[in-house]
């Protein structure tokens, strides 16, 4: 009898990027899943640790470099762009539709110079975003350039983060403000259950 909750185990087409594509990453750890419909520009400057999952319909622009640690889930329709750098720690998620922006990302300099004045820096900025261990970026949140989401920081759905998120706090709204604190925890090796991967069923 068919399972009432899970979809039937009918064979699917291979949903992941081919091995040749994965070899283009600057580094790719063990057990990574990169889904076939993720759009990844310049993977040569992107480093993935172990157990990283990048879902369909993400857009990751390598920019000046993206580095992810262990157990990072980049969910569908999220994007990382802007030409700067991103450092992403361990055990964290970037929710559906979230945007991590590292700079202006517009190629206007090449098209319009010298019309843009030298001090119109916003079109030229290539900055850095840092998302530390145990953080969580909610659906449709926007993390702006030069922001650090500190260890255990949670960005609520739809928030626009303009300033650093302090450790183990939850921020919400536009611009994002602290709404509460969060109890610190630590994931130890004995907590890690590599065979329990419920998100793969979604």
Ligand X SMILES: CC(C)(COP(=O)(O)OP(=O)(O)OC[C@H]1O[C@@H](n2cnc3c(N)ncnc32)[C@H](O)[C@@H]1OP(=O)(O)O)[C@@H](O)C(=O)NCCC(=O)NCCS
Q: From the list 151, 156, 161, 167, which residue makes contact with ligand X (rule: CB under 6 A)?
A: 156
Minimum CB–partner distance for residue 36 and ligand X (Å): 20
Residue among 52, 57, 60, 141 nearest 95 (CA): 141
Nearer to ligand X by Cβ, of 54 and 127: the residue is: 54
Of the candidate residues 138, 152, 153, 167, the single one contacting ligand X (CB under 6 A): 138
CB atoms within 10 A of CB 165: 26
**Does residue 178 touch ligand X according to CB under 6 A?**
no
Place of tokens 């399972």: 3
Unique residue bearing structure tokens 């172990």: 50
CB nearer ligand X, residue 47 or residue 75: 75
Residue with tokens 């990283």: 52
Hey, what are 90's tokens? 């361990």
Shortest Cβ 99–ligand X spacing (Å): 13
Q: Which stretch binds ligand X (CB under 6 A): 46-54, 104-112, 122-130, 153-161?
A: 153-161
The verdict on 153 binding ligand X (CB under 6 A) reads no
175: cis peptide before it, omega within 30°?
Answer: yes
Residue in the block written with tokens 């990048």: 54
Distance separating the N- and C-terminal Cα atoms of the chain: 21
Choose which of 179, 181, 184, 185 interacts with ligand X (CB under 6 A). 179
For ligand X, which residue of 43, 49, 82, 95 counts as binding (CB under 6 A)? 95
- Looking up tokens 């994007």, which residue turns up? 79
Min dist. Cβ of residue 182 to ligand X (A): 8
Stretch that binds ligand X, among 6-14, 49-57, 114-122, 167-175 (CB under 6 A): 167-175
The single residue among 46, 127, 130, 154 that binds ligand X, judged by CB under 6 A, is 154
**Cis geometry, peptide bond prior to residue 54 (ω within 30 degrees of 0):** no
CB atoms within 10 A of CB 113: 10
Q: Point out which residues bind ligand X (CB under 6 A).
A: 75, 95-96, 138-139, 154, 156-158, 170, 172-173, 179-180
């Amino acid at each position: 009898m068919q399972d009432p909750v899970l979809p039937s185990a009918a064979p699917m087409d291979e949903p992941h990027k081919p091995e040749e594509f994965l070899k283009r990453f600057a580094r790719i750890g063990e057990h990574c899943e990169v889904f076939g419909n993720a759009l990844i520009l310049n993977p040569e400057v992107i480093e993935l640790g172990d157990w990283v999952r990048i879902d369909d319909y993400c857009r990751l622009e390598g920019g000046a470099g993206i580095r992810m640690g262990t157990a990072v889930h980049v969910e569908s329709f999220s994007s990382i762009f802007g030409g700067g750098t991103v450092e992403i720690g361990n055990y964290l998620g970037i929710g559906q539709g979230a945007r991590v922006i590292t700079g202006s990302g517009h190629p206007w300099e090449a098209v319009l110079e010298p019309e843009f004045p030298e001090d119109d820096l916003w079109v030229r900025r290539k900055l850095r975003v840092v998302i530390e261990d145990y953080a969580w970026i909610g659906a449709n949140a926007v993390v702006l350039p030069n922001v650090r989401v500190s260890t255990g920081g949670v960005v609520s759905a739809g928030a626009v983060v303009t300033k650093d998120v302090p450790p183990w706090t939850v921020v919400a709204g536009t611009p994002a403000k602290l709404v509460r604190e969060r109890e610190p925890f630590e994931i130890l090796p004995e907590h890690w259950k590599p065979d329990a991967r419920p998100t793969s069923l979604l």
